[in-house]
């Protein structure tokens, strides 16, 4: 456990699957240097196989007794999909447009397919996913090199690229499959929660760019943060697959708004849930029943009285309220470490460079 924990809340009622977050992340971090296939942020359609393919079936995380479970490292061609490109240059010479690799799978291969029969009971919704920066990370627990650490000052989980030897146990250990192997540097990489931005008071790129304004970012222990209010005060935001036992710090407002189902004659079935509650329970745990009820009640309350703090937060009026990153906090951390304003407050991810002595030996082992 870190001293403080940054968290993100995503309102799934408002996600339109536009992938602006995905693009923001990709252009910022993963369009180069062996990361081309990676999506530190992706938006997948549920129900669907997701990205990497069938990630929920690939193991990792902890069992009920707290034991790390075995996991499977996804295959790049079959499960992630090799990024392909077209022969644009040759089109002028009369060639037909062909991809340079046979596309077999990709991050949005089953986008918008969903389940059920149109129009009676078909449904789908979007789940944007980033690294959960877990309080009990499976990746960190799986690493035999102490190459993954959780920052004390904000709980961001990072890979120390000087210690990482590319064994990929972290990928097997992460039940969300949000650690990726970079074949170019032969080391593992993952979402860094845009910590260089966060330290300067800016939200992660995915949250900043979100056109639906579905993402709230802040410290969980900051009572003024909307993240705190949604997770702890109103308890309407839930982690994804809490049964994996990693204690994720990305929370979701479950999708509550969907039209009712239609019967064979095309008539509305009153009170029916188009999105099956059992599916939501699988994703967000048994708490989801209470949360869905609360959100619906709050919506009614707002409709009737015009008042509901939960709805006011979820409407997301101001970026300044959605993101409370407390710039002064990081400046204080830097100051307490005797660092100047430009240096990142934690440079453990490059520790080990040019060393003549053993750089690491945390006696506690496993947690820094």
Q: Residues in the site for another protein, rule: CB under 8 A?
A: 31-34, 36-37, 59-60, 65-77, 79-80, 82, 85, 89, 136, 140-146, 161-163, 165-169, 171-173, 180-181, 183-187, 350, 352-361, 363-367
Residue 200 has, within 13 A of its CA and on its CB side, a CA count of: 11
Smallest CA-to-CA distance from 160 within 303, 368, 357 is with 368
Q: How many residues does the chain have?
A: 368
Nearest approach in angstroms of CB 200 to another protein is: 20
Q: Which residue, 170 or 238, is less far from another protein as judged by CB?
A: 170
Count of CB atoms situated within 10 Å of the CB of 26? 21
Nearest approach in angstroms of CB 188 to another protein is: 10
Q: What is the DSSP string of 144-206?
A: TTS-EEE-TTT--EEE-TTT--S--HHHHH-TT--EEEETTTTEEEE--TTHHHHTTTPPPHH
Q: Which residue, 223 or 366, is less far from another protein as judged by CB?
A: 366
Q: Which residue, 76 or 115, is less far from another protein as judged by CB?
A: 76
Q: Which residue, 26 or 129, is less far from another protein as judged by CB?
A: 26
Nearest approach in angstroms of CB 146 to another protein is: 5
Interaxial angle between packed helices 288-305 and 277-284, expressed in degrees from 0 to 180 and rounded to the nearest 10: 110
Residues contacting residue 267 through CB under 8 Å, at least 6 positions apart: none
Q: Which residue, 170 or 316, is less far from another protein as judged by CB?
A: 170
Nearest approach in angstroms of CB 8 to another protein is: 23
Q: Which residue, 155 or 173, is less far from another protein as judged by CB?
A: 173
Euclidean distance between CA atoms 219 and 225, whole angstroms: 7
Q: Which residue, 36 or 279, is less far from another protein as judged by CB?
A: 36
Nearest approach in angstroms of CB 205 to another protein is: 17
DSSP β-ladder status, 238-239 and 250-253: antiparallel
Q: Which residue, 93 or 264, is less far from another protein as judged by CB?
A: 93
DSSP reduced 3-state for 99: strand
Euclidean distance between CA atoms 346 and 76, whole angstroms: 32
Asked if residue 62 lies in contact with residue 138, where contact means CB atoms within 8 angstroms, the answer is yes
Nearest approach in angstroms of CB 115 to another protein is: 28
Q: At 322, which helix (H) or strand (E)?
A: helix 319-322
CA distances from 136 to 68, 175, 180, 203 (A): 11, 12, 19, 23
Euclidean distance between CA atoms 25 and 45, whole angstroms: 18
Smallest CA-to-CA distance from 242 within 149, 154, 134, 126 is with 134
Q: Which residue, 67 or 270, is less far from another protein as judged by CB?
A: 67
Nearest approach in angstroms of CB 166 to another protein is: 8
Nearest approach in angstroms of CB 363 to another protein is: 6
Nearest approach in angstroms of CB 48 to another protein is: 21
């Amino acid at each position: 456990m870190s001293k403080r924990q940054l968290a993100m809340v995503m309102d799934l009622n408002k996600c339109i699957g536009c992938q602006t977050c995905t693009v923001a992340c990709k252009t910022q971090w993963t369009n180069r240097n062996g990361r081309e296939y990676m999506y530190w942020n992706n938006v997948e359609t549920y129900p669907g196989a997701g990205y990497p393919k069938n990630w929920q079936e690939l193991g990792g995380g902890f069992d009920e007794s707290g034991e790390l479970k075995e996991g499977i490292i996804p295959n790049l061609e079959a499960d992630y999909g090799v990024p392909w490109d077209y022969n644009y240059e040759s089109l002028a010479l009369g060639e037909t447009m062909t991809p340079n690799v046979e596309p077999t799978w990709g991050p949005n291969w089953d986008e918008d397919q969903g389940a059920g029969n149109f129009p009676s009971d078909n449904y789908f919704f979007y789940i944007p996913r980033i690294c959960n920066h877990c309080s009990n990370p499976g990746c960190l627990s799986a690493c035999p090199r102490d190459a993954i650490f959780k920052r004390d000052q904000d709980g961001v989980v990072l890979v120390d690229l000087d210690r990482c030897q590319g064994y990929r146990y972290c990928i097997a250990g992460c039940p969300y499959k949000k650690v990726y192997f970079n074949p170019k540097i032969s080391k593992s990489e993952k979402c860094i929660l845009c910590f260089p931005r966060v330290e300067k008071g800016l939200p992660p790129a995915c949250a900043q760019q979100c056109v639906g304004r579905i993402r709230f970012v802040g410290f969980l222990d900051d009572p003024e943060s909307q993240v705190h209010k949604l997770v702890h005060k109103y308890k309407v935001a839930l982690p994804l697959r809490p049964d994996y036992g990693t204690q994720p710090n990305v929370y979701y407002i479950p999708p509550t708004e969907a039209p009712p189902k239609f019967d064979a004659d095309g008539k509305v079935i009153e009170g029916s849930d188009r999105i099956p509650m059992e599916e939501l329970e699988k994703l967000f745990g048994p708490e989801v029943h209470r949360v869905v009820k609360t959100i619906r009640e709050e919506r009614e309350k707002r409709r009737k009285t015009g008042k509901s703090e939960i709805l006011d937060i979820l409407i997301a009026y101001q970026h300044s309220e959605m993101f409370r990153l407390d710039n002064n906090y990081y400046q204080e951390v830097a100051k307490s470490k005797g660092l100047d304003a430009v240096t990142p407050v934690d440079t453990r991810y490059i520790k080990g460079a040019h060393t003549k002595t053993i750089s690491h030996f945390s006696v506690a082992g496993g947690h820094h």
